[in-house]
Amino acid sequence: MVATAVALATVPALGLPASAVTYGTPTISLSASYLSGAVGATGDPTVTVTVAQSGADVSALTVAATATTKSSVAQTGDVTVTGTGSARTLQVAARGVGYTDLTVKVTGLGGKTASKTLHYAASAAVQYAADARYLTGSSDASAAVDAGGGYIVVADDESNVLRLYDRNNSGAPVRTWDFSSALGVSSEIDLEAATRVGNTVYWTGSLGNGKDGSLKPNRTTLFTTTVTGSGAATQLTLGGSYKGLRADLISWDQANGNRFGFAAGAASGQVPKQINGFNVEGMEFAPGSTSTVYVGFRAPLTPAQAGGKALIVPVTNFDKLPGGSVHATFGTPITLDLGGLSIRDIRKNAADQYLIVAGSWAADDNSDPYALYRWTGQPGDAPVKVRDLPTADAGAWETVVDVPDLTVPGARAQLITDDGAADLYSDGTAAKDLTHPEWKKSRSTWFTVS
């Protein structure tokens, strides 16, 4: 009966009155029931609202927020819905930090309605908000490489998942990969560094102990992925792996008089994030090389005292390690004066211009200083500070995605924070412990570096 009435009503020549049309109850669905934003943000993540109603043209349906459980976080007027088709885009402009449930209602013809609840969380305003974007689904970004076409692949030091993000827009990953099973690991690798040459990306764990000093064999994992495609179509396939680099480094240091104290710093019971600890967080190829990689240490400083220098150990056959049967060989170690800070990431461009993210060896990430340095990559050349990095906001500066031409005035580089330890929503919960992945996020920010 309903179908007949609707069909007849669509034939104007029959001259049926409007009352003869029967409308079904509208339907509404959300692409995600949880959404995170930030006060004062530019381009916060959005949710797609899909609506329909039998007997009605979808363009006649209206969608709006009609209620909020905490108006100090977001009011109904702060919710914007755009589009006229079946799929609408919903965005929220946060007023304050915290959580609120927003009622999203579709109103169809015949006065019929349907509603869904959107669970919304808002974090605090940050410096450089216009240049900041948020990578949701994970809060512990620890390394990243450019995938081309405006996309990046980001690693997480709390899981082994690699995530592909649109680097210019806030939101969830468009694709993910987890090679844990194929690598034979059952716990976190503690991914901390990555570098790309051609279509091969090298990824490594920190090589260090757990935060309680316990030995963590999975953190010694070094592996490669092969990139096909670019942009949103990027695909990764697993290449080779190697788990001997930690042991090779310790043996090499012992053979050279324990200059850096690797054996002591890596011993069972030793916490890695100490001034004399053992923890790797940077990895990049040496100038003009596709075989020698600079391995950058968060700890130890050398000497292991306040004001000590940051340490780089060149691995001269790095390309032969994953999937091979050789042990690592080493070049002359390099020490850099980073103002008493150590290496949190190192990246270069095709012209062998390097940027170094410098931070403390300590674990109290959200309060210690950070700085960005440029370097030639030549052992005898001193790094030059580009700028101090802001520390008033939550998050530890962990990675620089790529390096622009540093000779061009106004060139910008994108840096990403690890927000895992941050209390983003002022409820006493660290971001890494949040129940819903949509509320977890890391922040990327573009900085002028030349």
Indicate the Cα dihedral angle 32, 34, 38, 44, nearest 10°.
0
What is the distance between the alpha carbons of residues 202 and 224, in angstroms, rounded to a whole number?
Answer: 5
Quick check: 46 and 72 in contact, CB under 8 A? no
Q: Is the pLDDT of residue 114 over 60?
A: yes
pLDDT digits (tens, 9 = 90+) for 186-220: 999 999 999 999 999 999 999 999 999 999 999 99
Q: Is the pLDDT of residue 16 over 50?
A: no
**Measured at the alpha carbon of residue 286, what is the angle toward residues 283 and 289, in degrees to the nearest 5?**
120
**pTM of structure:** 0.93
Closest CA to 193 of 226, 244, 157, 140: 157
- CATH T-level assignment (fold) for domain 129-448: Tachylectin-2; Chain A (2.115.10)
Q: Is the pLDDT of residue 13 over 50?
A: no
Residue 285 one-letter amino acid? F
Quick check: 251 and 257 in contact, CB under 8 A? no
Contacts of 289 (CB under 8 A, 6+ apart): none
Widest distance between CA atoms in the chain: 98
pLDDT, residue 367, reads: 77
pLDDT, residue 238, reads: 98
Q: Is the pLDDT of residue 8 over 60?
A: no
Q: Where are the domains of the chain?
A: 2-123, 129-448
> pLDDT band at 327, cuts 50/70/90?
very high
Q: What is the 3-state secondary structure (H, E, C) of the chain?
A: CHHHHHHHHCCHHHCCCHHHCCCCCCEEEECCCEEEEECCCCCCCCEEEEEECCCCCHHHCEEEEEEECCCCCCCHHHEEEECCCCEEEEEECCCCCEEEEEEEEEECHHHCEEEEEEEEEEECCCCCHHHEEEEECCCCEEEEEEEECCEEEEEECCCCEEEEEECCCCECCCEEEECHHHHCCCCCCCEEEEEEECCEEEEEECCCCCCCCCCCHHHHCEEEEEEECCHHHCEEEEEEEECCHHHHHHHHHHHCCCCCCHHHHCCCCCCCCCCCCCEEEEEEECCCCCCCEEEEEEECCECCCCCCEEEEEEECCHHHCCCCCCCCCECCCEEECCCCCEEEEEEECCCCCEEEEEECCCCCCCCCCEEEEEECCCCCCCCEEEEEECCCCCCEEEEECCCCCCCCCCCEEEEEEECCCCCCCCCCCCHHHCCCHHHCEEEEEEEECC
pLDDT digits (tens, 9 = 90+) for 257-298: 999 999 999 999 999 999 999 999 999 999 999 999 999 999
Average pLDDT of the chain?
A: 95
pLDDT, residue 20, reads: 61
Closest CA to 445 of 165, 126, 195, 172: 126
pLDDT digits (tens, 9 = 90+) for 72-93: 999 999 999 999 999 999 999 9
What is the distance between the alpha carbons of residues 444 and 402, in angstroms, rounded to a whole number?
Answer: 13
Q: Is the pLDDT of residue 250 over 70?
A: yes
What architecture is the 2-123 domain classified under in CATH? Sandwich (2.60)
Burial of 167 (0-12, 13-18, 19+ CB in 10 A): buried
What residues are paired with 280 via a beta bridge?
Answer: 297
Residue 29 vs residues 24, 87, 88, 106: alpha-carbon distances, Å: 16, 10, 10, 10
pLDDT digits (tens, 9 = 90+) for 147-180: 999 999 999 999 999 999 999 999 999 999 999 9
pLDDT, residue 6, reads: 37
What is the distance between the alpha carbons of residues 2 and 110, in angstroms, rounded to a whole number?
Answer: 14
pLDDT, residue 372, reads: 98
